[in-house]
Structure 1
Amino acid sequence: MYNIILVDLDNTILDFDAAEEDSFRKIISEVGLKYSDDFLRQYQKINNSLWRKLEQGEIPRDIVLNTRFSDFFRLYDIYVDGIETEQLFRFYLDESSALVPNSEITLRKLKTLGKRIFSASNGVYSTQVKRLTNAGIIDLFDGHFISEKVGYEKLSPKFFDFCKDNIAKFEIKSVIMVGDSPASDIKGAIYSGIDSCFYQHNKNIKCEYATYTITVIVELVDITQSHKKSG
């Protein structure tokens, strides 16, 4: 069975989609625009492209955080200070406490079964910790591996090597990585020889190479107990 659970945070435990939209709406309002879904889609297109480059080691984290809003608003001939806008966005994001449905009960069931749970997330350390604290679930984790502190993005085997080196009694056969990203979560785990569980948070995203696939997060509980590959 799996006794060590490495779990992604955004859209696996924390509802990042809800937090992002709410924070983005406030940024749009600050600039004096009327929110539209098209604005959000354009921003996400820019943001996702930058994060992919970061995960591949092509650009540093500061470029992602400090240029995404200036790049976005430039599309509409609006010029903002990218650093200041990012700081404001981060302030709003830090206040979020929205959870993926059933994620808290899943964590509590895992703890009842004696599992050790560690967050494994690409992101800003202070933001992730604040959101977990706001949601009242920070104490359900045994530790946190956030890329900003680790020094490597989750796709890199070095990220998982850091986890191995900093988890007591780490036995690879008893470890599973759980997340909603086929790239950073699932491929990252595969590159490091760790079993993986793809949580299909977005029904339009498929993953054919995970050890397991689930559509509701609470299904993870049975997987950790059975340790038997699903069809």
Structure 2
Amino acid sequence: MNKYKHIFFDLDHTIWDFDKNAEETLNELFILHRLQEIGLSSADLFIETYTRNNHELWAQYHVGAITRDELREARFKRTFIQLGLHPDLIPADFEDAYVRLCPTKTNLFPHAHETLRYLQGKYTLHLISNGFKESQKLKIAGTNLGQYFQHIIVSEDVGVNKPDKAIFEYAVNLAGTSRQESVMIGDSLEADVYGALNYGMDAIFFNPFSAPKPVDVPVQITHLKELITLL
């Protein structure tokens, strides 16, 4: 591990706890938009259904199968319809309300600041995110994460998403380093791990829920703090 000089992190689901922040947001919006009064009996079922749909749509977005606007249009519409709500009853501004509120949430994975402070003393750190630019700015500002990263690379600015090799090449060139001196850390096997490995960069799989690790994934961690001893 001593060969590394630059570490590239994913943000959502790796440092910023997307699911926890989304759950807080949706519980608030469930009440604010009076979803129980229009036929949704359970906030928990609503959140569970949304989370499944959102993950599926983000997987499609990563590989360019859908656009940002298609993702945003589909995730709540699909959720409401699956839960039996008539399309005419879907709150028109629900997606906009979610996009405004969720990025202001500040839940991070345990030991995020501690780990990043330690790594910053040994390596140059960067972010590579497929998240939406305006949302990522709010997340980083609200959690004071910007202090750790020399470069914050958002796919919208580059024009391609992870796992495309071009975004990794762009990031490495921007950092003034090489793939051999770099490692990518992220939760998405497709976007972060295989994206980096296919580019020729080492990768560490962040696997906080202990999902089965594919045999072709060389290194995984289940807690961010493990990076302190690993790196």
Name structure 2 gaps, 5 residues minimum: 37-41
Measure, in 2, the Cα distance between the counterparts of 1:124 and 1:69: 17
| Residue correspondence of structure 1 range 12-161 to structure 2 within 5 A | 12-34=14-36, 35-75=42-82, 76-79=84-87, 80=90, 84-113=93-122, 115-161=123-169
Name structure 1 gaps, 5 residues minimum: 225-231
Measure, in 1, the Cα distance between the counterparts of 2:100 and 2:172: 32
Asked whether the equivalents of residues 199 and 215 of structure 1 are also in contact (C-alpha less than 8 Å), the reply is yes
Asked whether the equivalents of residues 19 and 51 of structure 2 are also in contact (C-alpha less than 8 Å), the reply is no
**Number of residue pairs the alignment of both structures matches:** 221
SS of the equivalent of 1:64 reads helix
- Report runs of 4+ in structure 1 exceeding 4 Å deviation: none
Asked whether the equivalents of residues 12 and 103 of structure 1 are also in contact (C-alpha less than 8 Å), the reply is no
SS of the equivalent of 1:110 reads helix
Aligned to 1:8: 10
SS of the equivalent of 1:118 reads strand
Asked whether the equivalents of residues 62 and 161 of structure 2 are also in contact (C-alpha less than 8 Å), the reply is yes
One-letter amino acid matched to 2:35: L
Measure, in 2, the Cα distance between the counterparts of 1:111 and 1:77: 48
Match of 1:171 among 159, 169, 178: 178
Cα displacement (A) at 1:205: 4.7
Aligned to 2:217: 210
Mapped pair 1:185 → 2:192: yes
Cα displacement (A) at 1:176: 0.3
One-letter amino acid matched to 2:196: A
Cα displacement (A) at 1:81: 5.7
Q: Which moved more, 1:98-107 or 1:38-47?
A: 38-47
TM-score by length of 1: 0.88
Match of 1:198 among 196, 205, 214: 205
One-letter amino acid matched to 1:101: P
Measure, in 1, the Cα distance between the counterparts of 2:209 and 2:80: 27
Please report the RMSD computed on the Cα atoms of aligned residues, expressed in angstroms. Answer: 1.7
Q: Deviations over 1:70-121 (max 9, x none)?
A: 2221232243366x322210111121111110111110001122x1111112
Asked whether the equivalents of residues 11 and 17 of structure 1 are also in contact (C-alpha less than 8 Å), the reply is yes
Q: Which moved more, 1:35-44 or 1:57-66?
A: 35-44
One-letter amino acid matched to 1:215: T
Asked whether the equivalents of residues 30 and 43 of structure 2 are also in contact (C-alpha less than 8 Å), the reply is no
TM-score by length of 2: 0.88
Cα displacement (A) at 1:210: 2.6
